[in-house]
Amino acid sequence: MSEYPNTGLYINGVWRDGSNERLPVVNPASSEVIGNVSNASNNDLDEALAAVSAGFQQWRQVSAFERAKLLRKAAEILRGRSTVIARTMTLEQGKPLAESLAETSTAADIIDWFAEEARRAYGRLIPPRAMNVRQMVVKEPVGPVAAFSPWNFPLNQAVRKVSAALAAGCSIILKGPEETPASCAELVRAFADAGLPAGVLNLVFGIPADISSYLIPHPVIRKISFTGSTAVGKQLASLAGAHMKRVTMELGGHAPAIVFDDADVDLAVRILSGAKFRNAGQVCVAPTRFLVQQGVYERFLEGFVKAAEAIKVGDGLMDGVNMGPLANARRVEAMEALTADAVSHGASIATGGKRLGNRGNFVQPTILTGVPQDARIANEEPFGPIALVSAFADYDAAILETNRLPYGLAAYAYTKSAKTSAALARDIESGMLSINQHGLALPELPFGGVKDSGYGSEGGTEAMESYFNTKLVTEAT
Ligand code: NAD
């Protein structure tokens, strides 16, 4: 399709090709190659490293006030281009156009929020033990960052890293998602067009393992931020650890959604089905294990199945489509394998379970019941439109299942009891808990997990903290 732009590397303020052979980009709704993306060699990475190093020396001296102004300008540019960017995103990633538009607008809001935070990077004065001593705690940018962002939210996984880094005064090399490069490149273009000095933000694509193994150990890089699977996150965190680099890891999840007997069941069905099938379930905080108390199990399941069957699956550019294709063929294979495994372990398919058509990566919204704990999907993140629904007897049983897995990213609960809510807030092992609403991922809220879901935060003031060093300066006058 001619309207889909090919994507280059952005190194030291110049858009250019990489030295390796370009990689194809496929439209997941048609399985057709629609364009390509540049592929960086180590020589290209060396240039990016030199640029990000010089860029840091320049950017750290720009006042927070000026950094904030530039970030806000980039946000405005992004908003002004949202219609075109959203279309590009749907072409390469598959999500419905309305979701792509919402993502673009949220990306601009995230930049604005970090622009404001840039101006609030306060230090502290600590009361001294002697009157002539001054003790000052100063926040300094940690240095050049290497960030790795995935394909499920091509803009929003990247913008959190880029905006927080730039707001803090860091320079950054972003390794964008090769499968969805063009919308991510538009984020970088917005900053470039807002006047960001050359070298401060660089964008590369290529073979992910080659790039991470080259950038992470490199002495220029001082901080790593990665969003992706737990397996890859563990590899990158070990590499970063071997080189004593600061790390933020936003990894997989297997979110529980607990619906108690006293819940507003219609509300739970409406919000949780929306959250499950948004972006075809390729969301790290998507609810996966639906734990429903026995008294409302049948009612919830009936409503949930009805909601899933009402979803119109199709090309995200078409009117009325609520769920697009999966972003790549690997996810379709994964859905088929996980469903077959669950059924072979005795699970039942309440709805869905099949691939749709033989062109594009379409699968049905799927709900499984009676999934035993030894089925793969009861333990592995599906990262797709499959939900597991099971009944529980009492609070303790729900908590036991909730905390069973090594993951701990998001959790959801529906109850009208303040006592139950308070107990959940205490007992659930997760980085985020949303009760009676879907209230995650706003720019001002911390966003991150515990246990195998990673560490550090991609939102809120906590996200800024990870781009700062704390320096103590004490002097006798
Ligand atoms: P994958 O594990 O191969 O890749 C996941 C992401 O990590 C991709 O963006 C990929 O480019 C990147 N990556 C892979 N190996 C890397 C390396 N050595 N160095 C740097 N980056 C590397 O899996 P996939 O098939 O692309 O995605 C499926 C799985 O990834 C899902 O099961 C899900 O758990 C996870 N995922 C999570 C998120 C998230 O938002 N947390 C986003 C995308 C994918």
Question: Does residue 244 sit in the same domain as residue 305?
Answer: no
Nearest to 279 by CA among 311, 314, 323, 328: 323
**Pairing, β 20-27 against β 14-16:** unpaired
Measured distance CA(216)–CA(240) in Å, rounded: 6
Global pTM reads 0.98
Question: Does residue 289 sit in the same domain as residue 160?
Answer: no
pLDDT, mean of residues 361-384: 98
Judged against a pLDDT cut of 80, whether residue 416 lies above it is answered with: yes
pLDDT band at residue 44, thresholds of 50, 70 and 90?
Answer: very high
Which residue has the CA at smallest separation from atom 37 of ligand 1? 228
pLDDT for 379 equals: 98
At residue 224, φ and ψ (nearest 5 deg) are -120, 140
pLDDT band at residue 154, thresholds of 50, 70 and 90?
Answer: very high
Q: How many domains does the chain contain in total? A: 2
Decide whether any atom of ligand 1 lies within 6 Å of the 174 Cβ.
no
Alpha carbon of 452 to those of 165, 405, 407: distances in Å?
24, 9, 5
Distance 232 CA to ligand 1 centre (A): 7
Judged against a pLDDT cut of 70, whether residue 82 lies above it is answered with: yes
Question: Does residue 201 sit in the same domain as residue 292?
Answer: no
Which atom of ligand 1 is nearest to 157's Cα? 40
Question: Does residue 177 sit in the same domain as residue 272?
Answer: no
Measured distance CA(249)–CA(53) in Å, rounded: 23
Which atom of ligand 1 is nearest to 229's Cα? 35
Mean pLDDT value across the chain: 97
Residue 4 lies in a domain: no
Do 268 and 428 contact (CB within 8 A), yes or no?
A: no
Which residue has the CA at smallest separation from atom 21 of ligand 1? 208
Which residue has the CA at smallest separation from atom 1 of ligand 1? 229
Q: Residue 7 carries which DSSP code?
A: B
Residue 448 lies in a domain: no
Distance 115 CA to ligand 1 centre (A): 28
Judged against a pLDDT cut of 60, whether residue 456 lies above it is answered with: yes
Question: Does residue 95 sit in the same domain as residue 172?
Answer: yes
Which residues does 256 contact at the CB level (< 8 Å), separation at least 6?
A: 287, 288, 289, 290, 291, 401, 402, 411, 412, 428
143: left (phi over 0), alpha (psi -120 to 50) or beta: left
Task: Give me the half-sphere count of Cα atoms (radius 13 Å) on the Cβ side of residue 97.
Answer: 11
pLDDT for 292 equals: 99
Decide whether any atom of ligand 1 lies within 6 Å of the 284 Cβ.
yes
pLDDT for 3 equals: 87
Question: Does residue 241 sit in the same domain as residue 270?
Answer: no
Judged against a pLDDT cut of 80, whether residue 280 lies above it is answered with: yes
Judged against a pLDDT cut of 50, whether residue 338 lies above it is answered with: yes
Do 98 and 327 contact (CB within 8 A), yes or no?
A: no
Question: Does residue 367 sit in the same domain as residue 236?
Answer: no
Question: Does residue 206 sit in the same domain as residue 291?
Answer: no
CATH number, domain of 217, equals 3.40.605.10
Residue 436 lies in a domain: yes
Amino acid at the residue 21: E
pLDDT, mean of residues 56-74: 98
- Rounded to the nearest 10 degrees, what angle do helices 156-168 and 181-193 cross at? 30
**Pairing, β 287-293 against β 255-259:** parallel
Of all residues in the chain, the percent with pLDDT exceeding 70 is 100
Question: Does residue 86 sit in the same domain as residue 220?
Answer: yes
Distance 151 CA to ligand 1 centre (A): 8
Judged against a pLDDT cut of 80, whether residue 2 lies above it is answered with: no
Decide whether any atom of ligand 1 lies within 6 Å of the 381 Cβ.
yes
Which residue has the CA at smallest separation from atom 6 of ligand 1? 228
pLDDT band at residue 61, thresholds of 50, 70 and 90?
Answer: very high
pLDDT, mean of residues 215-240: 98
Residue 63 lies in a domain: yes
Quick check: ipTM above 0.85? yes
Residue 300 lies in a domain: yes
Do 28 and 328 contact (CB within 8 A), yes or no?
A: yes
CATH number, domain of 282, equals 3.40.309.10
Decide whether any atom of ligand 1 lies within 6 Å of the 204 Cβ.
no
Residue 2 lies in a domain: no
Question: Does residue 400 sit in the same domain as residue 422?
Answer: yes
Decide whether any atom of ligand 1 lies within 6 Å of the 180 Cβ.
no
Nearest to 389 by CA among 349, 429, 448, 343: 349
Question: Does residue 228 sit in the same domain as residue 335?
Answer: no
Instruction: Report, as residue numbers or ranges, the catalytic residues.
Output: 250, 284
Judged against a pLDDT cut of 60, whether residue 1 lies above it is answered with: no
Question: Does residue 82 sit in the same domain as residue 126?
Answer: yes
Boundaries of domain holding 186: 9-251+455-476
Nearest to 53 by CA among 170, 139, 161: 170
Nearest to 123 by CA among 471, 444, 457, 474: 471
Residue 447 lies in a domain: no
Measured distance CA(201)–CA(340) in Å, rounded: 44
pLDDT band at residue 246, thresholds of 50, 70 and 90?
Answer: very high
Residue 352 lies in a domain: yes
Name the residue of 221, 229, 254, 386 whose CB sits within 8 Å of the most ligand 1 atoms, as the mutation to test its pocket.
229
